[in-house]
Amino acid sequence: MLRSVADDVHVLTVPFRMGGLEVGGRMTVVRLPDGGLWVHSPVRFTPEVRAWVDALGPVRFLVAPNLMHHLAVPDWAAAYPDAKVAAPARLKRKRPELRIDLELGDAADAGWAGVIDQVFVRGMPKLDEVLFFHRPSRTVLVTDLAFNVQRTDSWLLRAYLKLSGAWQRLASTLTARVLIKDKAAVHAALEKVRAWDAERVVVCHGDVVEHDGRKALADGFARL
């Protein structure tokens, strides 16, 4: 079920395999001041998930935060035709059949500006991740730029994360670092993120960082 991690911020954690590894997945649902819902990285759509989300309010935005986290978006977009789909511009090339209403960049859309800030991480064209900061709860949302896996039954995942320097801590993985094509652009984006007064970090893969989020982000992005 959806779990509240802060006022107006709820998460749903589900199983998810990537490259043969069980890394888990997480959707975040933010209730905006008007009562509408902003859904980050939608997970597999099921009747149960729909019921949980509908209990919180009407879905207004569906956010694909990078070029990887889009698999479930078509089902959500079909279920909520009035919700606007937001995604990086390059996702149109990868999924031409997907309806995209808003292109994600550095500027927040008027529908969530002032409540959720964002930074588009340029310099990683195969990822094009956008990081978000929910101001009222001081919560940062990270998708694939960093993991925070504290426990796993998979020795292979544990070995990969140890090799990445990302075992049992918030940190970037080897895969993320390989995707960097312009370090200066990445560093410029992350400087903006480091300026956020973050207390909490919600990652899509791993555990939520509940405290000292600003320091965790600075340490976690040190290798990018």
Residue owning tokens 């300026």: 195
Q: Is residue 20 over pLDDT 90?
A: no
Burial class (CB in 10 A: 0-12, 13-18, 19+), 211: exposed
| Six token digits for residue 221 | 């992005």
Q: Is residue 187 over pLDDT 80?
A: yes
Sign of CA dihedral 207, 115, 106, 2: positive
Q: Please tell me the distance from the alpha carbon of residue 205 to that of residue 9, in angstroms, as a whole number.
A: 17
Average pLDDT over residues 151-168: 93
pLDDT in tens, 82-124: 999 999 999 999 999 999 999 999 999 999 999 999 999 999 9
What is the domain partition of the chain in residue ranges? 3-220
Architecture field, domain 3-220: 4-Layer Sandwich (3.60)
Task: Report the predicted TM-score, pTM, of the whole model to 2 decimal places.
Answer: 0.96
